Amino acid sequence: MNQRPSTRDRGLHTPPASVNGALWSVGSVAARLAIAGPTLRTWDRRYGLGPSLRTEGGHRRYSETDVSRIELMSRLVDEGVPAAEAAQVALSREESALRSTPRPSERKTPTSARRTVSCVDALVRAATVLDAATLSRLGGHVVDRRGVVAGWTQVLAPALREIGDRWAAGEVGVEVEHLMSERLGAELRTITQIRRVHRAVTALVVMASAVDEQHYLPVVALEAALAERRIPSVALGPRTPAGALEAAVVRRAPKVVFLWRSLPPADGDVDSPADSGVLRHQHVVLGGPGWRDVVGQSQPVQVAHVHDMASAVDLIESLVRT
Rule CB under 6 A: which residues touch ligand B12? Answer: 157, 160-161, 163-165, 167-168, 174, 177-178, 181, 213-218, 222, 262-263, 287-289, 306-309, 312
In whole angstroms, the minimum distance from the beta carbon of 215 to ligand B12 comes to 4
Q: Between the CA atoms of 192, 193, 197 and 203, what dihedral angle is there, to the nearest 10 degrees?
A: 70
Task: Tell me the backbone φ, ψ of residue 53, rounded to 5 degrees.
Answer: -130, 155
Pick the closer one to ligand B12 by CB: 178 or 280: 178
Other beta carbons less than 10 A from residue 102's beta carbon: 12
Pick the closer one to ligand B12 by CB: 72 or 221: 221
In whole angstroms, the minimum distance from the beta carbon of 165 to ligand B12 comes to 5
Pick the closer one to ligand B12 by CB: 83 or 242: 242
3-state SS, 29-95, equals: HHHHHCCCHHHHHHHHHHHCCCCCEECCCCCEEEEHHHHHHHHHHHHHHHHCCCHHHHHHHHHHCCH
In whole angstroms, the minimum distance from the beta carbon of 123 to ligand B12 comes to 12
Distance, in Å, from the CA atom of 218 to the CA atom of 257, rounded to the nearest integer, reads: 15
> What is the b/e burial string over 108-117, where b = at least 16 CB atoms within 10 angstroms of the residue's CB?
eeeeeebbbb
CA angle, corner 72, sides to 66 and 77, nearest 5? Answer: 125
Distance, in Å, from the CA atom of 172 to the CA atom of 3, rounded to the nearest integer, reads: 37
In whole angstroms, the minimum distance from the beta carbon of 286 to ligand B12 comes to 8
Distance, in Å, from the CA atom of 280 to the CA atom of 273, rounded to the nearest integer, reads: 10
In whole angstroms, the minimum distance from the beta carbon of 73 to ligand B12 comes to 27
Q: Which residue is nearest to ligand B12 (CB)?
A: 164
Pick the closer one to ligand B12 by CB: 70 or 155: 155
In whole angstroms, the minimum distance from the beta carbon of 127 to ligand B12 comes to 9
Pick the closer one to ligand B12 by CB: 61 or 255: 255
Pick the closer one to ligand B12 by CB: 9 or 213: 213
In whole angstroms, the minimum distance from the beta carbon of 71 to ligand B12 comes to 27
- The answer to whether the CB of 240 falls within 8 A of the CB of 211 is yes
Distance, in Å, from the CA atom of 147 to the CA atom of 26, rounded to the nearest integer, reads: 37
In whole angstroms, the minimum distance from the beta carbon of 155 to ligand B12 comes to 11
Other beta carbons less than 10 A from residue 277's beta carbon: 9
Coil, helix or strand at residue 205: strand
Pick the closer one to ligand B12 by CB: 9 or 177: 177
Pick the closer one to ligand B12 by CB: 73 or 316: 316
Other beta carbons less than 10 A from residue 212's beta carbon: 17
